[in-house]
Amino acid sequence: MNFAEHFFHERRKAVTRRYFFNQCGVGLGALALASLLRGNDGFAATAGNPLSPHAPPFPARAKRVIYLFQAGGPSQLDLFNHCPGLAKYDGQPIPKEIVKDQRYAFIKPDAALFASRFQFARHGQCGAELSEALPYLAEVVDDIAIVNSMTTPAFNHAPAQIFMNTGSTVFGRPSMGAWVSYGLGSESQDLPAFVVLSSAGGTSGGSGNWGAGFLPTVYQGVAFRRSGDPILYLANPPGITPAMQRRSLDALKELNQDRLDVVGDPEISTRINSFEMAYRMQTTAPELMDLAKESKQTLEMYGAVPGESSFANNCLLARRLVERGVRFVQLFHEAWDHHSDVTGGIKKECGATDKPCAALIKDLKQRGMLEDTLVIWGGEFGRTPMVETNKEAGRSQGRDHHPQAFSMWLAGGGIKPGLTLGKTDEFGFNIVQDPVPVHDLHATILRLLGFDHTKLTYHFQGRDFRLTDVEGELVPKLLA
């Protein structure tokens, strides 16, 4: 029996018993009854709720995740991976033996090398190299681990995003956030387990990036909206006050309870519980979204402005969400597809994201939450060492998609701080040391959360599916 079936089975058992005790007047010791009915209405916190929190099989270093997904493919060569070969051979064609038979989305394989227009320098005690485009990240560089040797098989946006988020280029698999919610449940009684926040453009992978796939929908990421109510249909209809809503829900609860008594279907008690949680969500979520409650200092640190929709606001919201027990928060910032003017693009997007990313690390740290919150930063692939220029398309000084080698960073939650992992050749084209395929990253993330990635499975269509499909090796060097 897999996780989900187990929960549902347990829930049914629990409900049946309660129904049995209530309806049939079977006596039971107070202690045993209490153990069955713990939680505020008997079910929210029992094993019956598929989102009730549960401990992972192994000791966890991270209890929650904030994944800052930088969609579009940020240029690792202008941010993290300092490749002197690029400057040395700037403008010359890349050697054929390096490119081999790699296909490209737009450019031809013999395009000229293109040196980064950013200066790199070493920062912090760890001495990690960062580009000048990331001045704020430089301040927390001792708290993060940079991986310069990420690699993915997919090199078009939608499949690559789906791969990074679900472990497969095929649509319809559960996303990482869904797997984690399935494995760990939620610490929050009145917010979803998995929340999605977005800034900049819509994502190429669409809602499949945070979908539940074949897992029950309850594990799906809930995309908070940028304006208006954060959660769809959160607000009462016009003219209906919270008191009126409460009256309605009381009547509804009574009627549903009455029906449960008649037909005995435990599903009804789940429904009663869902309505109660919805009501709680109606109060919690607006309070959560109200950034004006944050100190001026905090707002300034993130660069957040109450009432706006921005990556900075989303970073601050992410902290507020995990504080309230949300298990997995994923930010999507779809803005890094710099086929043209990569330098200008990097400046612009770093301007929007560098400060809030660093602020999030600092803020979590000062609140003592960084040690058990895993923060992940990265996109679906990297960008080419070669220039993309195309007069007809109005493109110049850009970079094309590059799947072989790209960079991400991770922080907190058991990640070894101050580490720079992996090396590429002098052009940043191929990895020469410590490659980290996406499935290995997934395996490592799951391990930090207390799972053996091969064991967190869901039986579907004849086999046990998992986030890492049939691959995945732990990356021990990343662990603190």
Partner 1 sequence: MPSLTPSLVQIGKFFSRAAFAVFCGSAAAAAELPPAATGTVDFVRDVQPILAQNCYNCHGAHKHESQLRWDNKEIALQGGEHGPDIIPGQSAESRMIQLVSGAAPDLIMPQKGDRLTAQQIGILRAWIDQGAPWPASASVKAIDPRRHWAFKAPIRPPIPSVKNKNWPRNAIDSFVLARLEAEKLRPSPEADRSTLLRRLSLDLTGLPPTIQEMEDFLADRSPDAYENQVERLLASPHYGECWARHWLDVARYADSNGYEKDLSRSIWPYRDWVIDAYNNNLPFDQFAIDQLAGDLLTNATLADKVATGFLRNSMLNEEGGIDPEQFRNEGIIERMDVLGKAFLGLTVNCCQCHDHKYDPFSQKEYYRLFAFLNNDDEPGMEVPDQPTQARRTAIQRKIADIHDQLMAQYPDLPQKMEAWEQEMKAMEGTWTVLEPQAYYASVGTKFTKLDDNSLLATGSNPGVSQYTVTAKTSLKGITGFRLEALADANLPSYGPGRAANGNFVLSEFTVEASPDAPIATTNQVPLQNATADFSQPDFPVAAAIDGIITNKIGWAVEDLPGRRNRSRQAVFETKNAVGFDEGTVLKFTLNHSYGDEHTLGRFRLSLTTAPRPLRADPLSSNARAVLALPLQQRTLAQRRELFDFYRLTDSRMAEASKRIDDEQRQWPSAPTTLVLAARDQPRPTHVFIRGDWQKPGALVTPDVPSILPALPKVARLNRLTLARWLVNKRHPTVARVIINRIWQEYFGRGLVATSEDFGTQGDPPTHPELLDWLACEFMDSGWDIKHMQRLIAESATYRQSSVVNPRLQERDAYNQLLARGPRVRVDAEILRDIALSASGLLDGQIGGPPVYPPIPDGVLTLGYGAPMTWETKAGDRYRRALYTFVKRSVPYPSLQVFDAPTGESPCPRRTPSDTPLQALTTLNDPVFVEAAQALALRVWKQGGKDDRARLQFAFELCTGRLPRPNETAVLSSLLQDENHFFENRTARAVQVATLDIKNPPQDVNLERVAAWTMVTRVLLNLDETITKE
- Which parts of 163-222 interact with partner 1 (CB under 8 A)? 170-172, 192, 198, 201-208, 211, 214-218, 222
Q: Which is nearer to partner 1, 53 or 124 (CB)?
A: 53
Q: Which residues contact 274 (CB under 8 A, 6 or more apart)?
A: none
Q: Which is nearer to partner 1, 236 or 433 (CB)?
A: 236
For the bound state, the minimum distance from the C-beta of residue 102 to partner 1, rounded and expressed in Å, comes to: 11
CA distance 222 to 186: 13
CB 220 within 8 A of CB 211: yes
CA distance 193 to 326: 5
List the one residue from 42, 48, 73, 159 that touches partner 1 (CB under 8 A): 159
Subset of residues 390 to 409 that bind partner 1, contact rule: CB under 8 A: 390-393, 395, 400-401
For the bound state, the minimum distance from the C-beta of residue 454 to partner 1, rounded and expressed in Å, comes to: 13
Two tokens, residue 360:
């999030």
258 CB burial (10 A radius; 0-12, 13-18, 19+): exposed
List the one residue from 263, 292, 368, 476 that touches partner 1 (CB under 8 A): 263
Length of the chain: 480
Q: Residue 151: beta bridge partners?
A: 437
Mark 176-207 as b/e (b = at least 16 C-beta within 10 Å).
bbbbbbbbbbbbbbbbbbbbbbbbbeebbbee
Mark 69-80 as b/e (b = at least 16 C-beta within 10 Å).
bbbbbbbbbbbb
By CB under 8 A, residue 266 contacts partner 1? yes
For the bound state, the minimum distance from the C-beta of residue 249 to partner 1, rounded and expressed in Å, comes to: 8
List the one residue from 2, 3, 12, 397 that touches partner 1 (CB under 8 A): 12
Helix (H) or strand (E) holding 399: strand 395-402
By CB under 8 A, residue 270 contacts partner 1? yes
Q: With contacts defined by CB under 8 A, how many residues of the chain interact with partner 1?
A: 89
Subset of residues 275 to 314 that bind partner 1, contact rule: CB under 8 A: 275, 277-278, 281-282
Q: Which is nearer to partner 1, 277 or 289 (CB)?
A: 277
Instruction: Identify which range of 15-23, 54-62, 288-296, 369-377 contacts partner 1 by CB under 8 A.
Output: 15-23
Subset of residues 37 to 96 that bind partner 1, contact rule: CB under 8 A: none
List the one residue from 93, 98, 102, 104 that touches partner 1 (CB under 8 A): 104
Helix (H) or strand (E) holding 120: strand 120-123
Q: Which residues contact 369 (CB under 8 A, 6 or more apart)?
A: 319, 322, 323, 412
List the one residue from 1, 30, 262, 292 that touches partner 1 (CB under 8 A): 262
CA distance 173 to 467: 8
By CB under 8 A, residue 454 contacts partner 1? no
Place of tokens 């996109």: 379
Two tokens, residue 322:
């995990």
By CB under 8 A, residue 327 contacts partner 1? no
For the bound state, the minimum distance from the C-beta of residue 292 to partner 1, rounded and expressed in Å, comes to: 21
Subset of residues 330 to 349 that bind partner 1, contact rule: CB under 8 A: 334
For the bound state, the minimum distance from the C-beta of residue 24 to partner 1, rounded and expressed in Å, comes to: 7
For the bound state, the minimum distance from the C-beta of residue 465 to partner 1, rounded and expressed in Å, comes to: 11
For the bound state, the minimum distance from the C-beta of residue 33 to partner 1, rounded and expressed in Å, comes to: 16
Q: Which is nearer to partner 1, 141 or 223 (CB)?
A: 223
Which of 144, 152, 181, 216 is closest to 401 using CA atoms? 152
